[in-house]
Amino acid sequence: MQMAMFDPIRLDPPDRPDWRSALSTAQFGPMAEDLVAVSIEAAAGGSGTIARPIVDRGVDLYFRRLRSLLTIPIQVKAFQYLSPDGNGRFDLPVTEGAEDSNAYLAIVHVPAPHDQLYRRFFLIPFHVFRERCPRGLVQDRECFSFTGNFSGAPTDLWSDYLLDIDRLPEWFASVSGWRTPIPPVPHTPRRHTVIEGTSLTQPDPDGPVTV
């Protein structure tokens, strides 16, 4: 007698939708930040959590290693479109850069239909970005003038900070302090069993007796 083989239900993600939407900058920016947050938190495998700042000081996300004070500030810059050869360019006013010396700049491409990141993005320590990025005047404001190639061209100024999303776990390992062991959670002290009795309701045999 032959037994029917169990055919497991496939729960793979569906094909990407083919919608096209015209997004304003106010919509596109937070969407890109959300996608970066989801990618980083998922790659961390439960070892970290994402928070957003209350006050905007050039940082869009804070990634914190659980059960520690290790926090990675992240500023996100995103492109909807790239040039045919894979270049993206933006001008960032120097005064709008992240103030935290430990911050990273995540520069991503979110192609249509804008529901997931391109498979590569830049993760640049902000202190490196400040030192390396060319500067210029844009409308009388001093700006960082960034140009990066997402195709992985070895001659690109930022190619050493271009990262495949599936290699994010390796990036965590490179962050200073990330490999520091975290002590185990201490066990909750056991409570002593309470012995019920009537000692508080009975008179002291050695005490005075009122007749």
What order of strands is seen across the sheet that includes strand 141-149?
A: 87-93, 141-149, 135-138
Has residue 113 been placed in a domain? yes
Has residue 6 been placed in a domain? no
172 backbone dihedrals φ, ψ, rounded to 5°: -55, -45
Has residue 144 been placed in a domain? yes
Has residue 18 been placed in a domain? no
Nearest Cα to Cα of residue 135 among 93, 104, 107: 93
* pLDDT tens string 63-109: 999 989 899 999 999 999 999 999 999 999 999 988 888 999 999 99
DSSP string of 17-77, one letter each residue: P-------HHHHHHHHHHHHHHHHHHHTTTSEEEE--SS-SS--EEEEETTS--EEEEEEE
* pLDDT tens string 33-76: 999 999 999 999 989 999 999 887 889 999 999 989 899 999 99
Has residue 211 been placed in a domain? no
Instruction: Quote the number of domains for the chain.
Output: 1
Its pTM stands at 0.80
Parent domain of 167: 25-174
- The domain that contains 75 carries what CATH number? 3.40.1350.10
